[in-house]
C-alpha cells in the first residue's frame, strides 16, 4: 500500500468523518471536514467507488452506509448554503420537519437576513427577511437550525397567505402542544398588524 493511501485511508480519518456527519443525517461538507483537520485528499479518496463517502454535490458528501431518514434532504439543502448566510430552515421545510404538512416541498426553504444579493442554490429557496430570526425563534433539528413552530406559521402565512394548509397546521400544532395561542400572538406582535389580525383569526 502506498504512503498516500495509508494517510488518506486510515481508520482515524474515517472516525472523524463519521463524527462530523452522524448528527446531520449522515451528511458533511468539504468545508467542515477541512476545518476539522481532514485533508481534501481524504475526501477524494473516501469518495472513490466503494469508499465510505458518496459525493452528493459540490462540496457536499454523505456517508455511504448511513441509515436513510425521511427528512435528510432538508439537511442536505441547508448544508449547501454558505455559513456566512446564517440560513435557518423555514417555511414549508420547517412544517415538514414538524409533520405539520402533508406536502413534501420539492425544494428546501431557508430564511436569511436581507443583505447583498446571493448566488442561487439549486434545490434551495432562499427567503431574505427584514424580521431577524431571534435566538428564541430557532431550535436544532437533525443538527441544523430550524424556525420554531410559531415563527414557521407566521413565515408561511406571510409568504402564502391564509390557506387551508396553514389553517390545518395551526390547528394541529395547537392540538399537539407544539405551540400555544399565547406564543403565536407574542411572535406575531413583532410583525405588521395584518399578520397579527390573521393570527387572531386563526386562533379564535
Q: What is the pLDDT of residues 56-95, one digit of tens each?
A: 999 999 999 999 999 999 999 999 998 888 999 999 999 9
Dihedral sign from CA coordinates of 102, 108, 112, 118: negative
Considering only CA atoms, which of 179, 168, 108 is closest in space to residue 139?
A: 179
Three-state secondary structure call for residue 22? helix
Share of the chain above pLDDT 70, in %: 94
Backbone phi and psi for residue 48, each to the nearest 5 degrees, phi listed first: -70, 165
Strands 27-29 and 53-57: unpaired
Name the residue with cell 399565547: 182
Q: Tens digit of pLDDT for each residue in 88-136?
A: 999 999 999 999 988 777 899 999 998 756 778 889 999 999 999 999 9
Amino acid at each position: 500500500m502506498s504512503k498516500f493511501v495509508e494517510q488518506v485511508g486510515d481508520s482515524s480519518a474515517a472516525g472523524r468523518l463519521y463524527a462530523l456527519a452522524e448528527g446531520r443525517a449522515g451528511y458533511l461538507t468539504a468545508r467542515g471536514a477541512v476545518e476539522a483537520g481532514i485533508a481534501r485528499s481524504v475526501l477524494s479518496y473516501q469518495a472513490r467507488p466503494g469508499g465510505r463517502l458518496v459525493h452528493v454535490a459540490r462540496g457536499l458528501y454523505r456517508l455511504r452506509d448511513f441509515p436513510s431518514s425521511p427528512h435528510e434532504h432538508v439537511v442536505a439543502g441547508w448544508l449547501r448554503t454558505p455559513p456566512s448566510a446564517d440560513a435557518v430552515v423555514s417555511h414549508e421545510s420547517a412544517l415538514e420537519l414538524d409533520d405539520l404538512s402533508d406536502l413534501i416541498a420539492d425544494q428546501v426553504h431557508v430564511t436569511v437576513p436581507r443583505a447583498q444579493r446571493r448566488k442561487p442554490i439549486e434545490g434551495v429557496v432562499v427567503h431574505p427577511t427584514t424580521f431577524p430570526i431571534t435566538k428564541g425563534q430557532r431550535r436544532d433539528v437533525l443538527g441544523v437550525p430550524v424556525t420554531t413552530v410559531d415563527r414557521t406559521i407566521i413565515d408561511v402565512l406571510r409568504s402564502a397567505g391564509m390557506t387551508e394548509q396553514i389553517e390545518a397546521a395551526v390547528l394541529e400544532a395547537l392540538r399537539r402542544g407544539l405551540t400555544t395561542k399565547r406564543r403565536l400572538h407574542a411572535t406575531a406582535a413583532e410583525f405588521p398588524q395584518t399578520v397579527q389580525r390573521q393570527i387572531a383569526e386563526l386562533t379564535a
